[in-house]
């Protein structure tokens, strides 16, 4: 009987932890190996964007701030409800999940997709998995795996570093992201 008294509180503590853990990194076959957060996204900007995830047809708002020593990223529902937050401090991402709405795009997967979009070609080449190849094209880039038909295409419209519209199509994982930059402001150090 005494053991039953401890089970209920223990379960009450474990369930939120399990739900949060289920939302963290989802293993996907992506071309990037581990990388440092500062390499992934251009520094010194505040950016607001919309993000559409297919095939789930989910829309999100993306808010990002990048300083010389950290990057903060927040994913929100169109109504402004926080989904998750990623803070990159000391080269490591720290994830805080607020709701399960973003199940189709786990935080660390989004970070890898953003790195594939915004990281410069030289740094990308250094962080590619051995069986992937990067091809730079006039209006985008293509990540290919020669032994399979797997590829990830990134198309850009507008000027770098914050293109007006970006589309990433991951045929291997069945994901399409469409990012529209609403506002990108250069933040100068004081």
Per-residue pLDDT of the chain (190 residues; tens, 9 = 90+): 555 544 333 333 333 333 333 333 345 678 888 777 777 888 888 999 999 998 888 999 999 998 878 889 999 999 999 999 999 887 778 898 888 776 778 998 999 999 999 998 888 888 898 889 999 998 999 999 888 888 999 999 998 888 999 999 998 888 999 999 998 887 655 4
pLDDT score of 169: 95
pLDDT score of 23: 37
pLDDT score of 10: 31
- 3-state secondary structure labels for all residues of the chain: CHHHHHHHHHHHHHHHHHHHHHHCCCCCCCCECCCCHHHHCCCCEEEEEEEEEECCCEEEEEEEEECCCEEEEEEECCCCCEEEEEEEECCEEEEEECCHHHCCCCHHHHHHHHHHHHCCHHHHHHHECCCCEEEEECCEEEEECCCCCCEEEEEEECCCCCCCEEEEEECCCCEEEEEEEEEEEECCCC
Q: pTM of the entire structure?
A: 0.80
Of 102, 121, 117, nearest to 180 by C-alpha is 117
Per-residue CA distances from 60 to 24, 32, 34, 68, 76 (Å): 18, 24, 25, 26, 6
Q: Residues 84, 75: contact at Cβ < 8 Å?
A: yes
Location of structure tokens 């990037």? 32
- Per residue in 125-152, is it b (16+ CB within 10 Å) or e — as a string? eebeeeebebeeeeebbebbbeeeebbb
């Amino acid at each position: 009987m005494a053991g039953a008294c401890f089970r209920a509180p223990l379960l009450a503590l474990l369930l939120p932890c399990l739900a949060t853990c289920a939302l963290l990194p989802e293993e996907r076959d992506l071309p990037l190996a581990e990388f440092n957060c500062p390499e992934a996204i251009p520094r010194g900007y505040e950016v607001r964007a919309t993000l559409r995830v297919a095939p789930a047809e989910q829309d999100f708002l993306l808010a990002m701030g990048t300083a010389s020593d950290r990057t903060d990223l927040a994913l929100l529902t169109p109504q402004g409800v926080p989904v998750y937050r990623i803070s990159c401090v000391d080269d490591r991402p720290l994830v805080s999940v607020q709701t399960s709405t973003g199940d189709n795009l786990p935080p660390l997967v989004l970070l890898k997709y953003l790195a594939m979009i915004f990281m410069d070609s030289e740094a990308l080449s250094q962080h590619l998995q051995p069986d992937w190849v990067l091809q730079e094209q006039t209006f985008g880039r293509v990540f290919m795996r020669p032994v399979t038909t797997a590829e990830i295409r990134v198309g850009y419209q507008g000027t770098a570093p914050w293109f007006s519209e970006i589309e990433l199509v991951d045929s291997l994982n069945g994901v399409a992201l469409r990012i529209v930059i609403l506002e990108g402001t250069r933040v100068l150090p004081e």
